[in-house]
Amino acid sequence: MIPSRTCPTCEFPSDEADLFFAENIKPEKISGFSFASRKLPEYMCHRMVLCPVCDLVYADTPPAEDALAESYHAASYDSSEEADDAAKAYILAIQGVLDRLTGRDGALEIGTGTGVFLKHLEEAGFTKLVGVEPSRAAIDAATPECRKWIREGMFNEHDFEPESFDLICCFMTMEHVRDPMEIAKSALRLLRPGGVFLTVTHDYRSPVNRFLGKRSPIVDIEHLQIFSERAISGLLTRAGFLEVSAQRFVNRYSLRYWTRLSPLPAGIKTFLGDCFGKPVLSRIRLGINVGNTLACAYKRR
């Protein structure tokens, strides 16, 4: 029996939290792609509860740390094109933050995948780039240029010098870690004064996710918590950051990938996916606000 945890943000007891999603895991459906990024949605999830204090939705009995590490290490990977599109959307969304940042010496990305976002940071003038990624298959899919920045494994604060980064990013990863508060506190200690921590998280309160309900891609066995704008802002503020802000931004992906994410029946998805994979259509990118939140949090100067 896995022991239950209190709210990972505010420690309010889980037995006083409301049920949000009942557990829905079919062991026979778990595959190498279950722990891969940007996979075909499986709509499986752990039992999730909603914290009435901080608005976080979280699995009250998540898998143990070592089981998670093994799942991510062994996960398959087939989404380099989508990773490239996501990295372009992120760099565009954080332009204002980068303009304000005085130092560009040291940037860390937790959950870097193929490291493609680090390439954008290099072009923006950042030095001493490093990305942490547990999935061997994602690292294998990285270009040699990006691979040199990637450290394989789960993120461990003690692998880095305190106050050695001006920027730390954690995109679409805060949902996946056992202890998101510990990640935020580690980021605070690793940042230089005035440095910034950026996260991208799903928003379960966004209209599209509320509309899709249990057919939303946020219903995912990989997710140990799901945020709202208030939940991610609250976590970063409790961790000790200042000037915390959270806002939605637009993702741009191919028509084929949007089809993949959609709640359409499998046969229609395959048909449309094949159509949109044709040369002319495959180049089209469609920007949609799917309720992903960019949060920005500064360390005191």
Site for Zn ion in 227-286 (CB under 5 A): none
Site for Zn ion contains 10 (CB under 5 A): yes
Element (H or E) spanning 266, and its range?
A: helix 266-276
Site for Zn ion contains 52 (CB under 5 A): no
Site for Zn ion contains 20 (CB under 5 A): no
A 10 A CB-CB count for 101 gives: 18
Instruction: Find the part of the chain contacting Zn ion (CB under 5 A) among 9-17, 94-102, 244-252, 287-295.
Output: 9-17
* Residue in 30, 87, 45, 55 with CA at minimum distance from that of residue 176: 45
* Residue in 9, 17, 11, 15 with CA at minimum distance from that of residue 201: 9
* Residue in 218, 273, 173, 210 with CA at minimum distance from that of residue 43: 218
Minimal distance in Å, beta carbon 19 to Zn ion?
15
A 10 A CB-CB count for 300 gives: 12
Instruction: Find the part of the chain contacting Zn ion (CB under 5 A) among 22-30, 49-57, 103-111, 144-152.
Output: 49-57
Minimal distance in Å, beta carbon 119 to Zn ion?
36
Site for Zn ion contains 12 (CB under 5 A): yes
Residues 263, 212 contacting (CB under 8 angstroms): yes
Under 8 Å CB-to-CB from 52, ≥6 apart: which residues?
12, 16, 17, 18
Site for Zn ion contains 49 (CB under 5 A): no
Nearer to Zn ion, 9 or 112 (CB): 9
CA 36 – CA 73 distance, rounded (Å): 10
Under 8 Å CB-to-CB from 2, ≥6 apart: which residues?
61, 62, 63, 64
Helices (H), 144-196: 144-147, 180-190
Site for Zn ion contains 288 (CB under 5 A): no
Write the interaction track for Zn ion spanning residues 117-156; mark x where CB under 5 A is met and - where it is not.
Answer: ----------------------------------------
CA 147 – CA 136 distance, rounded (Å): 11
Minimal distance in Å, beta carbon 20 to Zn ion?
12
Site for Zn ion in 54-93 (CB under 5 A): 54, 56
Minimal distance in Å, beta carbon 235 to Zn ion?
9
Minimal distance in Å, beta carbon 234 to Zn ion?
8
Which of 25, 53, 242, 281 is in the footprint of Zn ion by CB under 5 A?
A: 53
Minimal distance in Å, beta carbon 284 to Zn ion?
41
DSSP state of 62: P
Instruction: Find the part of the chain contacting Zn ion (CB under 5 A) among 19-27, 29-37, 46-54, 108-116.
Output: 46-54
Nearer to Zn ion, 8 or 195 (CB): 8
Minimal distance in Å, beta carbon 162 to Zn ion?
28
Instruction: Find the part of the chain contacting Zn ion (CB under 5 A) among 47-55, 80-88, 144-152, 260-268.
Output: 47-55
Is 251 strand, coil or helix?
A: strand
Nearer to Zn ion, 89 or 226 (CB): 226
Handedness of CA 94, 95, 101, 107 (dihedral sign): positive
Is 215 strand, coil or helix?
A: helix
* Residue in 42, 53, 85 with CA at minimum distance from that of residue 261: 42
Minimal distance in Å, beta carbon 147 to Zn ion?
38
With CB under 5 A, what is the number of residues at the site for Zn ion?
8
Q: Determine the residue type at 252.
A: R
Residues that bind Zn ion (CB under 5 A): 7, 9-10, 12, 51, 53-54, 56
